[in-house]
């Protein structure tokens, strides 16, 4: 995974680069390689801006928030990235990305003791879906909602 982005940059082939980088960032997150993940997400966000490749922009902001939270950055900074992820996904009508961003936000809100607000946010996003309830993100959201009741 680490070699692929370098190869893409070296050949000048940046189509789908942000999608690949989102996967790299998520792998770094799962492996607790926070600093490497932050470097990768910042690189991907530069490509988003430079080439207007925005279809995973929301996920990149969400992942950056997750990594900053893992690093122990202030909750308001983490929350800003989750909020940005929500805004981008809503603007793009990207409901799956919105669900992921909402899940990250409600986990933070729950930690802050804002269960009612967390429930309202997640329930609003979850309620949009009419199918695909065996999808892992929807299963997680449903379980989280039940835990917030």
The predicted model scores a pTM of 0.91
Supply 143's token pair.
Answer: 């379980």
* CATH number assigned to the domain comprising residue 63: 1.25.40.10
Alpha helices by DSSP H, 12-135: 17-30, 34-51, 57-70, 75-92, 95-111, 115-126
Task: Please report where in the chains the tokens 């490509």 appear, as a residue.
Answer: 47
- pLDDT band at residue 149 under the 50/70/90 scheme: confident
Q: What is the mean pLDDT of residues 122-145?
A: 96
pLDDT tens digits for 39-62?
Answer: 999 999 999 998 898 999 999 999
pLDDT tens digits for 18-32?
Answer: 998 999 999 999 999
Number of structural domains in the chain: 1
Full residue range of the structural domain in which residue 99 is found: 3-148
């Amino acid at each position: 995974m680490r070699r692929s982005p370098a190869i893409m940059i070296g050949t000048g082939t940046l189509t789908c680069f942000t999608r690949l980088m989102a996967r790299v960032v998520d792998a770094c997150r799962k492996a607790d390689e926070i600093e490497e993940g932050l470097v990768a997400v910042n690189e991907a966000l530069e490509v988003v801006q430079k080439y207007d490749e925005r279809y995973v922009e929301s996920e990149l902001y969400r992942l950056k928030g997750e990594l900053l939270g893992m690093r122990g950055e202030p909750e308001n900074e983490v929350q800003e990235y989750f909020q940005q992820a929500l805004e981008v996904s809503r603007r793009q009508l990207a409901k799956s990305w919105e669900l992921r961003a909402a899940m990250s936000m409600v986990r933070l809100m729950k930690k802050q003791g804002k269960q009612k607000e967390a429930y309202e946010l997640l329930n609003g996003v979850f309620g949009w879906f009419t199918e695909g309830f065996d999808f892992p993100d929807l299963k997680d959201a449903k379980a989280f909602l039940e835990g917030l009741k």
